[in-house]
Amino acid sequence: MPRLHPIIHAAGAEGRHPDWAVMSPARRRHTERVGQLLWEWSGTLGHDRMRRIRWRAAGLLHDALKDESPETLGPEVEDAGAWSGSLLHGPACANRLRAAGVEDASLLRAIAFHTTGHADFRALGRALYMADYLEPGRTGLARERADWRRRMPSDGCAVLGEVATAKIGNLLHRGIPISPVTAGFWRAVTAPPATIR
């Protein structure tokens, strides 16, 4: 893996957010807890230190623009019309990182689509999607979340399916339209594993 970009290193190794981050103190703590889960899972998976820093950085950075207004973020996102305002912070953050010189495509995709999921998620995208939902500061479904966390990362494939079911099921329950990108993610999550012949 190439050297980590300074923004990624600062976030993942030192817990520092970029100076353009717009987050309440509670939001900062949420990103720290998500980063901590990713750091732990990455360690259990036997990743080297650089990869662990990269995983933690994704947690630290994913909501860096969550408290910025959609009016400010909309012009920064090419297909802004495809996103509801509250979800623009993902692609806008990925764009800011890209503009700063971050070239790590799977990390950028993980951050851009952390709310929706994406069919082309690599391991980090899937892990961030789960960690964002499972971090211990979230209050609802406390017992279920603790149980899911206990099964991570060894049972990650099954937990991903269950977390996606919970998140997408919640959208369906509330009558919220499922975007094509989320539908593609759901197909990827539920696809039978490829057979080797």
- C-beta closer to Fe ion: residue 50 or 80: 80
Q: What is the enclosing helix (H) or strand (E) of 158?
A: helix 156-173
Write down the least CB distance from residue 2 to Fe ion, Å. 27
Q: How far apart are CA 46 and CA 185, in angstroms?
A: 26
- C-beta closer to Fe ion: residue 63 or 68: 63
3-state SS track over 14-57? HCCCCCCCCCCHHHHHHHHHHHHHHHHHHHHCCCCHHHHHHHHH
Write down the least CB distance from residue 90 to Fe ion, Å. 6
Q: What is the CA radius of gyration of the chain?
A: 16
- C-beta closer to Fe ion: residue 86 or 154: 86
Write down the least CB distance from residue 52 to Fe ion, Å. 19
The binding track of 115-144 with respect to Fe ion, each residue x by CB under 5 A or -, is: -----------------x------------
Write down the least CB distance from residue 196 to Fe ion, Å. 36
- C-beta closer to Fe ion: residue 68 or 132: 132
- C-beta closer to Fe ion: residue 84 or 154: 84
Calculated CA dihedral for residues 14, 17, 18, 20, nearest 10 degrees = -170
Write down the least CB distance from residue 190 to Fe ion, Å. 23
Closest CA relative to residue 4, chosen from 44, 60, 76:
60
Please classify residue 9 by burial: count the beta carbons closer than 10 Å to its beta carbon, then call 0-12 exposed, 13-18 middle and 19+ buried. middle
**Segment interacting with Fe ion, rule: CB under 5 A, options 62-70, 93-101, 145-153, 154-162:** 62-70
**Residues 61, 63, 102, 182: which binds Fe ion (CB under 5 A)?**
63
Binding residues for Fe ion, rule: CB under 5 A, are 63, 132
